[in-house]
Amino acid sequence: MQHTRLCWRCMTNGFLCSVCGQIHPPAPTSYSIKAPDAFIAIPDEERATRAQISAEQCILDERQFFLRGRIVLPILDQQNQPAPELLDPRSGPAPEIRIEAPYFAYGCWVEVSPKNFFRTHELWKTPGREDEPPFPGYLANELHHYPRTLGLEVLVATQPVGRRPHLTVLDQTHPLAQEQMTGLSTERIQQIAEQILHHPEPR
């Protein structure tokens, strides 16, 4: 997981929680939801007949089609900070290693049209698939620490083989879209961790 590499600076610290006053382990920089909310809402005994689900794709009642994707948000105040394994002064960073700016990610599901679902499926292992034009989708999970996110319109950008599609929230008045544009501070990442720890999302 990217998390270990990106959070090296806070790995020894943890953070002081403003809700309970305890020190918690370092605030995660990624969260993921394993299924669309519509799948989770189906009673266990009906899932086998109504749903097909894998780690990346889901079909409900043969009429709703979902892909797993990522909402990626830049982290504001650690930008371009290299990971410790790249800091050895004897060797210097290997030129082929690309140092990426740290980011925060929500792994979540997006509902897409049957056409885009099957196109994505068809290109699943095709090199160069990231050249496909982005296509529309609707968030299929509620992120409870934001105003309503279920049904929020996003643009789905296909990534190179092996990577989940990136989702860009289109409604620029929504706080999640604004954070996607402006980035998250360390304080905001801790606040998200506090909200999730102390107000677990109903399931």
Closest approach, Cβ 141 to Zn ion, in A, equals 24
Closest approach, Cβ 21 to Zn ion, in A, equals 7
What are the residues facing 75 on neighbouring strands?
Answer: 184
- Measured at the CA of 119, the angle between CA 137 and CA 131, to 5 degrees, comes to 85
What token pair was written down for 109? Answer: 């599901």
Written as one letter, the residue type at 135 is F
Our CB check for Zn ion shows the closer of 10 and 17 to be 17
Our CB check for Zn ion shows the closer of 10 and 157 to be 10
Instruction: Count residues near Zn ion (CB under 5 A).
Output: 3
Closest approach, Cβ 68 to Zn ion, in A, equals 29
What element of type H or E holds 32?
strand 30-32
**Out of 17, 76, 150, 155, which residue is the one contacting Zn ion (CB under 5 A)?**
17
3-state SS class at 10: helix
Does residue number 20 form part of the binding site for Zn ion (CB under 5 A)? yes
Site stretch for Zn ion (CB under 5 A), options 18-26, 76-84, 99-107, 151-159 = 18-26
What element of type H or E holds 175?
helix 175-182
Our CB check for Zn ion shows the closer of 185 and 191 to be 191
**Out of 19, 23, 161, 181, which residue is the one contacting Zn ion (CB under 5 A)?**
19
What element of type H or E holds 139?
strand 135-139
Closest approach, Cβ 186 to Zn ion, in A, equals 16
Report which residue's Cβ sits closest to Zn ion. 17
Q: Please enumerate in sequence order all residues whose Cβ is within 8 A of that of 157, keeping only pairs 6 or more positions apart, or say none.
A: 130, 134, 165, 166, 167, 168
Site stretch for Zn ion (CB under 5 A), options 17-25, 52-60, 83-91, 161-169 = 17-25
- Distance between CA atoms of 113 and 54, rounded to whole angstroms? 18
* Residues forming the site for Zn ion (CB under 5 A): 17, 19-20
